[in-house]
Amino acid sequence: MASFPFELVSPERVLFSGNVDSVVVPSAEGEMTVLANHAPFMSAVRPGVVTVDGGKRLFVRGGFVDVNAMGLTLLAEQAIPVEEIDREKVAADMKMAEDELRAASTDEARTLATEKIAALSAMMAAVRS
């Protein structure tokens, strides 16, 4: 199988940089598998797991993905290897987000709390799978 360059970058660090055979990305349009010579594509990223070569799993939240002739670049607002996710912290953050949603008095506050809950739910699902 042909390989291609892939780079996953978060504000804190480069989480992956190298040649790969395949990458599964949770794009806004749905989960997509990128292989060598994929058609050019750009999309927002939804919270979920990026799977590299069927093995390495990284949770991402927010950002965008760009596939072009040079390879695949994913710029994520947040990214963490799935094995580094702390279940107890995610559960505590989820409880706080649910409390924020209950206390929200504006549409903007409700929207932010709902988005936070969705991202934390996706993170918890990544740890479980």
Q: Please state the three-class secondary structure of the chain as a single string.
A: CCCEEEEEECCCCEEEEEEECEEEEEECCEEEEEECCCCCEEEEECCEEEEECCCEEEEEEEEEEEEECCEEEEEEEEEEEHHHCCHHHHHHHHHHHHHHHHHCCCHHHHHHHHHHHHHHHHHHHHHHC
> What's the pLDDT tens digit per position in 45-83?
999 999 999 789 999 998 999 999 999 999 999 999 999
pLDDT attached to residue 127: 85
**Is the Cα torsion angle 95, 62, 11, 15 positive or negative in sign?**
positive
**Mean pLDDT on 100-113:** 91
- Structural domain boundaries in the chain: 4-83, 85-128
Q: What are the pLDDT digits (tens) for 6-42?
A: 999 999 899 999 999 999 999 988 999 999 999 999 9
pLDDT at site 55: 86
Give mean pLDDT, residues 111-115. Answer: 89
Is the CATH code 3.40.50.970 the one for domain 4-83? no
Judged against a pLDDT cut of 80, whether residue 44 lies above it is answered with yes
